[in-house]
Amino acid sequence: MIDVAREAGVAFKTVSRVVNGEPVRRESLERVDAAIAKLGYRRNIGAASLRSGRSRTVGLLVYEISESFQLSLAQIVEAALAEKGYRLVVASTMGLGEREAEFFESFCANNFDGLIVLPSTVEQSYMRPELEAGVSIVFVDRPPKNLETDVVLAENREGMRHATEYLIAGGHRRIGFFSLKLDNYTGVERHGGYRDALDAAAVSYDERLVSEWPETRQQALEALDAMLALPSPPTAFLSGASPLAKRLLWAFRQRKITPPFVSYDDFELADLFEPPVTVVSQDSRRMGLAAVDLLLQRMQGDTTPPRVVRIPTHFIERGGSIMPEA
Amino acid sequence: MIDVAREAGVAFKTVSRVVNGEPVRRESLERVDAAIAKLGYRRNIGAASLRSGRSRTVGLLVYEISESFQLSLAQIVEAALAEKGYRLVVASTMGLGEREAEFFESFCANNFDGLIVLPSTVEQSYMRPELEAGVSIVFVDRPPKNLETDVVLAENREGMRHATEYLIAGGHRRIGFFSLKLDNYTGVERHGGYRDALDAAAVSYDERLVSEWPETRQQALEALDAMLALPSPPTAFLSGASPLAKRLLWAFRQRKITPPFVSYDDFELADLFEPPVTVVSQDSRRMGLAAVDLLLQRMQGDTTPPRVVRIPTHFIERGGSIMPEA
DNA sequence: CTGTTAGCGCTTTCAG
DNA sequence: CTGAAAGCGCTAACAG
């Protein structure tokens, strides 16, 4: 920067002003721009943020970037922040809860201005010191545990209830439910929606029809077999999340069946299966924009109490019979 | 750091040594550790890198993180670097070539120690100043244009030739090829492999059987229809990359056909189609490890001439008839 | 609008 | 093994 200043014949502070788009005399600006171009100068963001305390960078912490919803959210958040002049750095814990804290540390050590978190199922009280020290944090998808922050949620319960009602309307009374783990918000809510719909239709809840998070294709198949071996087996199936849907589609295929099936979460190629997969889709656009909106407000010093924003889901009916197979 | 030093009763330089794992007296170490824990001190990485010039951070620039190969590569690279004490920051241009330079700027401004690039199809001479200034850069998937760096490549040509030979062995003489754009390395190589196999089997090359990068499902369908309307239509199909495979599978479905089909690039759920999709799979593990290996050598000051590493592909036969339908 | 001075938090260098 | 001093590249605060 000193070199540029010398080249342009101005003080190095003037160079700083030019680089930051602050007002300078027209002539200085041109001279500085020319010097920058000539010397191939590039501003060191690290040094700038060291001094100013701000980095114009936001972190996004997701637990599985390969899930269609989370990837889409990341893209939307990135675009929305770019528009406001912020960079986004994305980190994915790949389902390993213990990495969440690790990334959080790393984000803090890089003094990011804000953080958007899609939490895995661990608790987040370790974030409290930073939160109280003024770091802006917004949660998405699931609320924090042992922490108070803004949070953007999908209408998990409504969405799952709607999916269940759809199958019930098709005449099903025995509906197998492949659930997320019930130790976290989304798992509990979606399971709750399933149960709500059963209750409303006076269909009795049978826990033998619920499989909690089979972790592999093989486990999903075993759970499916167990349900099919019941005296009164399910005639339709629900999945609580896209990874489950993929395992279950594999299991259906092993058994050469194509029962009526609806999944929470859309996923790529869901429409290309035979029959295509009807889904409850989360609105990643609205959720992402809401999260950015809340975050920017906090970063601008808003200290009102934490808010909860709920975004409705969309039911995407892709055809395929919903009638029992006979 | 000064606070910690005061708390521990040592010079603040000693704290720095502890934080960096440099040798200190046992007693000092314990006192400093205790003070760090008590004060909740966290080292500011930005400041450290400002002074030292190193950031222990590597950037990974991909063009489409949602592609199975690139995501897998990112995970492998991250793990391999983590083992050596480096962080990885991933940026995806989402297929927008112009964003490549933008991210590169951003990486430089954050003085990263190294960079792994999966280039989109633009040219990279803009990286030359940094490369010559000693920034370590390794290319993966495609070689740089107008630049000399280490590069890790898959055996694109061999892989595509093998896939083509497989269909020829099934008796096919008319094979529709959905190709990447021919303005880039992978596009040209894979097309070359297709052509090599045809030539070796004395099958004439017909450019009406080649569709260059239909960008949407609809365009893929139009290209498919055009081929099917030929006097001598194709009896089998090849895709040069997974996005093409997905569009083409949709098009097959529209026309209610399931012709013999092989795609370059594996993708999630490829095995769940009916029939399952046979693929040429790139070895993301070996390619990722090779890239990290080359990069670390460069970062340690290796200035030998740039190297090219080629990694074989795997042919994953998933069944489904390869015989002509009639 | 421009320049000067101080200092962000850390590592480097070099002297003890 | 430890400490003091200098300074990485930049912006804040203020004076001109």
- Beta carbons within 8 Å of B255's beta carbon, 6+ residues apart: B221, B224, B225, B228
In a domain, B321, yes or no: no
Q: Give yes or no: residues B238 and B181 share one domain.
A: yes
The answer to whether residue A201 scores a pLDDT higher than 70 is yes
Residue A61: what pLDDT? 96
Rounded, the Å distance between the CA of A9 and C1' of C1 is: 16
Residue B12 belongs to a domain with what CATH number?
A: 1.10.260.40
In a domain, B200, yes or no: yes
Q: How many residues does chain A have?
A: 326
Residues of chain A with C-beta less than 8 angstroms from the C-beta of B55: 46
Mutate to test the interface with B, among A67, A78, A110, A250 (most CBs of B within 10 A): A110
Q: CB-based contact (8 Å) between A105 and chain B?
A: yes
At residue A57 the predicted structure's pLDDT band, cuts being 50, 70 and 90, is very high
Residue B110: what pLDDT? 86
CA distance A248 to A26: 65
Q: Give yes or no: residues B139 and B207 share one domain.
A: no
Percent of all residues in chain B with a pLDDT value above 90, rounded to a whole number? 71
CA distance B237 to B265: 14
A89, A108, A253 member nearest B89 (Cβ) = A89
Rounded, the Å distance between the CA of B7 and C1' of D5 is: 22
Residue B209: what pLDDT? 98
Rounded, the Å distance between the CA of A150 and C1' of C6 is: 38
Residue A178: what pLDDT? 98
| 3-state SS, residue A7 | helix
Residue A42: what pLDDT? 83
CB A234 within 8 A of CB A174: yes
Q: Give yes or no: residues B173 and B260 share one domain.
A: yes
Using alpha carbons, list the distances in angstroms from residue B319 to A256, B222, B252, B270, B322. Answer: 16, 27, 18, 12, 8
Residue B92: what pLDDT? 92
Q: CB-based contact (8 Å) between B253 and chain A?
A: yes
Q: Give yes or no: residues A116 and A130 share one domain.
A: yes
DSSP assignment string, B8-35: HTS-HHHHHHHHTT----HHHHHHHHHH
Which uninterrupted H or E stretch holds B81? helix B68-83
Instruction: Indicate the burial class of B66 (C-beta count within 10 angstroms; 0-12, 13-18, 19 or more).
Output: buried
B111, B250, B253 member nearest A44 (Cβ) = B111
Q: CB-based contact (8 Å) between A269 and chain B?
A: yes
List % helix, strand, coil for chain A (3-state, nearest 5): 45, 15, 40
Q: Give yes or no: residues B107 and B219 share one domain.
A: no
Using alpha carbons, list the distances in angstroms from residue A247 to A214, A217, A218, A252. Answer: 8, 5, 8, 9
In a domain, A314, yes or no: no
Residue A29: what pLDDT? 87
In a domain, B127, yes or no: yes
CA neighbor of A76 nearest in space, from A88, A91, A92: A88
Report phi then psi at B250, rounded to 5. Answer: -65, -45
For the segment B203-250, what is each residue's pLDDT rounded down to a tens digit?
999 999 999 999 999 999 999 999 999 999 999 999 999 999 999 999
Instruction: Indicate the burial class of B248 (C-beta count within 10 angstroms; 0-12, 13-18, 19 or more).
Output: buried
Packing angle of the helix pair A45-52, B45-52 (nearest 10 deg) = 130
Residues near strand C (C-beta below 7 A) are A 10-14, 17, 23-25, 27-28, 47, 50-51; B 1, 12-13, 16, 19-20, 42-44, 47-48, 50-52, 54
* Terminal C-alpha separation, chain A: 78
CB B280 within 8 A of CB B314: yes
Q: Give yes or no: residues A76 and A216 share one domain.
A: no
CA distance B190 to B176: 14
- Cβ contact A47 with chain D strand, < 7 A: yes
In a domain, A102, yes or no: yes
At residue A325 the predicted structure's pLDDT band, cuts being 50, 70 and 90, is low
In a domain, A128, yes or no: yes
Q: CB-based contact (8 Å) between A87 and chain B?
A: yes
Q: Give yes or no: residues A189 and A246 share one domain.
A: yes
Q: Give yes or no: residues B225 and B166 share one domain.
A: yes
Which uninterrupted H or E stretch holds B298? helix B284-299
Instruction: Give the minimum alpha-carbon distance from A160 to chain B in angstroms, rounded to a whole number.
Output: 24
A40, A46, A111 member nearest B49 (Cβ) = A46
Residue range of the domain that includes A34:
2-43
Q: CB-based contact (8 Å) between A110 and chain B?
A: yes
pTM for this prediction: 0.93
Residue B224 belongs to a domain with what CATH number?
A: 3.40.50.2300
What does pLDDT average to over chain B?
Answer: 93
Nearest CA in chain B to A51: B47
Tokens of B316: 């994953």
The answer to whether residue A324 scores a pLDDT higher than 80 is no
Q: Determine the residue type at B241.
A: A
Q: Give yes or no: residues A17 and A76 share one domain.
A: no
Residue A250: what pLDDT? 97
B66, B75, B108 member nearest A71 (Cβ) = B66
Higher pLDDT, B46 or A117: A117
Higher pLDDT, B135 or A308: A308
Mutate to test the interface with B, among A56, A64, A272, A318 (most CBs of B within 10 A): A272
For the segment A126-180, what is each residue's pLDDT rounded down to a tens digit?
999 888 888 899 999 999 999 999 999 999 999 999 999 999 999 999 999 999 9
The answer to whether residue B325 scores a pLDDT higher than 70 is no
Q: Give yes or no: residues A203 and A276 share one domain.
A: yes
Q: CB-based contact (8 Å) between A255 and chain B?
A: no
In a domain, B109, yes or no: yes
DSSP bridge pairs for A116: A60, A138
What does pLDDT average to over chain A?
Answer: 93
Q: CB-based contact (8 Å) between B246 and chain A?
A: yes
Residues of chain B with C-beta less than 8 angstroms from the C-beta of A50: 44, 46-47, 50
The arrangement of strands across the sheet holding A278-281 comes to: A210-212, A175-179, A236-239, A261-264, A278-281, A314-316
In a domain, A98, yes or no: yes
Domain tally, chain A: 3
The answer to whether residue B44 scores a pLDDT higher than 90 is no
Q: Give yes or no: residues A247 and A294 share one domain.
A: no
Q: Give yes or no: residues A103 and A175 share one domain.
A: no
